[in-house]
Amino acid sequence: MMIVVSFLARLAWWLLLAPLLPGIINKVKAWVAGRRGPPVLQLYYDLARLWQKQVVMSTLASPAFIVGPAVAWVAVLGATTMVPLGPAGATLSFRGDVVLMLYLLALARFATTWAAMETGSAFEGMGAAREVSYAVLAEAAMIAAMLTLAVQTGSVSLATMLAPSVGTSAVLLAAGLFTVLLVENCRVPFDDPATHLELTMIHEVMVLDHSGPPLAVILHGASLKLLLFAVLLTQSVLPMGTYSPAVAAAVLVAGVLAVTVGVGAVESLMARFAFRRVPLLLTTSVLLCVFALLVAWQGAA
């Protein structure tokens, strides 16, 4: 009984709280720009509205155009089951779950790009090509970050890897993971989620032709992924395992909030990078994670 309740509680955290994050980011951006901005709950309204809408589908698209977003959403949700939530722990935990989490995110990427390519549109092809290309460096950074945590704790399961802090390398790791968070969730300076009709985009351009419930699923999945990365970043930097459950829960919420506000601040204060400079920043994030790994190696010795 307890298992079911805690499982449902975790599920509720992930599913219900996720759409809050883009709302907070937009609020921060509006506040910095001196506007009032949309309500924090705007994405919830959007999702409810989209869910009732009809779908318009390209004549070229195969069923995978509709199935793709569903697959991506299930994959991201699957990845969240392995990420511990502070004192609440993870639904699924075993040796090597960290690799499964990374590859479930890859599955989501595959499904999204596949669905984008269904339309035969050059714009969506561009977005898909950028998404998979930048992911190459982001993946290397993620592996390095996970190796850092593994070296630090001697464990290969997320639930135990994320409990202590990574000590002196925490700053490096935080910088590296934050950059990965920005690119994986297509935020400034890699992508600009505010514009919809630009040649220069990644994620938004891939979903140009989606509408109705599939678009709702895509938007919800994107917010879920953002929450996942925020939770991961918070816990890999802070020593969650050393706090009492109540403090840990508060710290987790505060951490996620801080990361979200940070994303909003970056978005307000920076412009999107020119595309040829993107790989440079990504390489920097790989190096940051690799240096974090080296420092963790020294520290744990």
Partner 1 sequence: MTVGPLIVLAFAALTLGVVVGRRWPRLWLALTLTGAGAAIVASLAVLFGAVDWEWRGAFRLGGEALHLRLDGLSAIFLALVGVLGAAGAVYAREYWSDAHYPASAPRGRAWWSALLLSMMLVLTLSNGLHFLIAWESFAIAAFFLITLDRGQRAVRSAGWLYLAASHAGTLALFAFFALLAARTGSWDLGPMRDQAALQPLLWLALFGFGVKAGLFPLHVWLPSAHANAPSHVSAIMSGAAIKMGVYGIMRFSGWLPAPAAAGWVVTGLGAASALLGIAFAFAQGDLKRLLAYCSVENVGIIMVGVGGALLARADGDAAWGRLLLAGALLHVWNHGLFKGLLFLGAGSVLHATGTRQMSRLGGLWRKLPWTAGMFAIGTLAVAGLPPLNGFVSEWMVYLGLFDAVTSRGASAWAAIFAALMLGTAGALALASFVKAGATVFLGAARGKRAAEAHESGRTMVGSMLVLAALCVMLGLAPTLVWPALARGVAAWQPAWPVAPVPQSLQAIGGAQLTLAVLLVAAGLFAWRRLRGGVARRAMTWDCGYAAPTARMQYTSASFAGIVGGWFRWILRPELALRRPRGLLPLRAFRLERFPETVLDVVIAPVGGLIMQTASGARRLQHGSLQAYILYVVAGLVALGALVLTAGVR
Q: Quick count: other Cβ atoms within 10 Å of Cβ 18?
A: 24
Cβ atoms of 199 and 123 within 8 Å: the answer is: yes
Distance linking the first and last C-alpha atoms of the chain = 43
d(CA 76, CA 286): 23
Name which of 172 and 259 has its Cβ closer to partner 1. 172
CB of 54 to partner 1, least distance (A): 6
The number of angstroms, rounded, from the C-alpha of 135 to the middle of its chain's C-alpha atoms is 12
Contact with partner 1 (CB under 8 A) among 31, 114, 273, 291: 114
d(CA 45, CA 123): 28
- Joined together, the tokens standing for residue 97 give 């779950």
Q: Please tell me whether residue 287 binds partner 1 under the rule CB under 8 A.
A: no
Contact with partner 1 (CB under 8 A) among 209, 221, 267, 292: 209
Q: Please tell me whether residue 107 binds partner 1 under the rule CB under 8 A.
A: yes
Q: Please tell me whether residue 3 binds partner 1 under the rule CB under 8 A.
A: no
What mask of x and - would describe binding to partner 1 in positions 63 to 82, judged by CB under 8 A?
xx-xx-xxx-xxx--x----
CB of 174 to partner 1, least distance (A): 20
State whether the Cα torsion 37-40-45-47 is positive or negative: positive
d(CA 154, CA 151): 5
Contact with partner 1 (CB under 8 A) among 32, 279, 284, 291: 279
Residues numbered 219-258 forming contacts with partner 1, rule: CB under 8 A: none
Contact with partner 1 (CB under 8 A) among 9, 16, 39, 120: 120
Burial 211-245 (b: 16+ CB within 10 A, else e): ebbbbbbbbbbbbbbbbbbbbbbbbbbbbbbebee
Contact with partner 1 (CB under 8 A) among 7, 13, 44, 103: 103
Residues numbered 14-53 forming contacts with partner 1, rule: CB under 8 A: none
Name which of 112 and 260 has its Cβ closer to partner 1. 112
Name which of 28 and 138 has its Cβ closer to partner 1. 138
